[in-house]
Structure 1
């Protein structure tokens, strides 16, 4: 083999070796970039999950209606906690009332039946379950039904629903006058219930803490197929579909339903001043 050929083969081997070294280096860099890229992707995914979790948590509110959070008042019962109960939990009969604080027919019912209802509650014969509705707001506009119902739910938080409920009906404005839409008026009326107008109650009214709950209660009323207020049921049976019902008849009906049954355990109920 000539020196020239020998040198040529040496140069070729060196060139091939150099190319292999370059290929190895390129492959190493590629592996490094792939691993690094994978780490970046994992970090990005983890960061995305963290952001999603954080955003999920930030969407929840401690009760502010602005976020649509449904905050039931303290002691609410029933499906979705949409019922405000008054009277002994173990009373043998239950009167269910769907009503709107702006509704004049509800006001007429309350003025006629309230003393009898309270008497039955206080004797342990009957428990009343209130469902709050915003029918008049929907028909005439305004916020009085909603704001008054929220304020009543705030009174329930304070254990003074019945007293404040009665004050609202005793001071109900004309149906066309959305006076209950003014929260200052609702707070002023709260002054008629001893111990109700506290900082907590005021904040609850001003912030509309239970607004979403009231709206859900009204939706349930519509879903149930009722179309007027008041709707009054005794032990699940509609008893106020005609003008025949009187306070005396209500009492007689409850006594008949409770025959042979033990009265419920009664606790003191606050009254308005």
Structure 2
């Protein structure tokens, strides 16, 4: 074989090798495009599914059957009253059981509020919100609100309300989303850990009520939780000069003397 023929064959082999490498590269790019398209398709389906789930949640909020707890009062029965109806002063409290500021308020004012309510000088109207679920994700605010409404059915709202705030987890921790946790805490309230309470919690008996209460909170134009109004006047909005428990007591006592 001549040198010229050998060089021609080597050149042909080199061209073939180069063509094979180019083909491998094209095949690799094609596979990447196919996988990428598949991923995009999956993500698109997931987005649609998420949108459907979100819309389903909205439907539940607006069209689900409303089951208010026993003794609930006010517009749409969204208020849980504590204390004597004849009291001359009314304290309206909007709270979220996952809200750290609400816990701070409760820890500071709890004793004073209970004292005034027990003496028949103050009626308290509790409204429950679920804004932390929206801000942080999760369902602990809703689950805890439902459980508190279940406690109201059993005539144990105040005691259980206090237990929830005393055992509030850190804000990012959605521990209250677990019904078992809420039922376990009921053991700290005498007579609450019953089969009917457990069923109410596990069934989400008052979920629609809690969601409607949160919607009312949003529509009220309040700045956040806690929102605390004494006879219609917001007493917790000015954080530069917040009302103290002693000042609250003095105002209520003065109203009852008038």
| TM category, shorter | 0.7 to 0.9
Q: What's 1:251 paired with? A: 249
Rounded Cα–Cα distance in structure 1 between residues aligned with 2:238 and 2:253? 21
Rounded Cα–Cα distance in structure 1 between residues aligned with 2:232 and 2:179? 34
Rounded Cα–Cα distance in structure 2 between residues aligned with 1:90 and 1:200? 31
Rounded Cα–Cα distance in structure 2 between residues aligned with 1:199 and 1:225? 38
Secondary structure, aligned partner of 1:85: strand
Q: Structure 1 residue 181 and structure 2 residue 156: aligned?
A: no
Q: Structure 1 residue 148 and structure 2 residue 144: aligned?
A: yes
Alpha-carbon displacement from aligned partner over 1:10-32 (angstroms, at most 9, x marks no partner): xxxxxxxxxxxxxxxxxxxxxxx
Q: What's 2:103 paired with? A: 107
Q: Structure 1 residue 134 and structure 2 residue 125: aligned?
A: no
Q: What's 2:14 paired with? A: none
1:253 deviates by 1.2
Alpha-carbon displacement from aligned partner over 1:169-209 (angstroms, at most 9, x marks no partner): 01000000000001100000000001101111000000000
Secondary structure, aligned partner of 1:95: strand
1:227 deviates by 2.6
Q: What's 1:167 paired with? A: 163
Rounded Cα–Cα distance in structure 2 between residues aligned with 1:222 and 1:162? 24
| Counterparts of residues 194-205 of structure 1 (less than 5 Å) | 194-205=190-201
More helix per residue: 2
Alpha-carbon displacement from aligned partner over 1:199-240 (angstroms, at most 9, x marks no partner): 110000000000000000000011111130000000111111
Rounded Cα–Cα distance in structure 1 between residues aligned with 2:208 and 2:181? 21
Q: What's 1:39 paired with? A: none
- Whichever of the two has the greater Rg, that structure is 1
Q: What's 1:80 paired with? A: 76
Secondary structure, aligned partner of 1:258: helix
Of the three residues 90, 97, 114, the one matched with 1:94 is: 90
Rounded Cα–Cα distance in structure 2 between residues aligned with 1:227 and 1:250? 21
Alpha-carbon displacement from aligned partner over 1:237-261 (angstroms, at most 9, x marks no partner): 111112321100110111122223x
Alpha-carbon displacement from aligned partner over 1:52-92 (angstroms, at most 9, x marks no partner): xxxxxxxxxxxx99x81110000000000000001111111
Secondary structure, aligned partner of 1:137: helix
Larger relative CO (CA 8 A, sep 6+): 1 or 2? Answer: 1
1:159 deviates by 0.3
Alpha-carbon displacement from aligned partner over 1:147-180 (angstroms, at most 9, x marks no partner): 0000000000000000000000010000000000
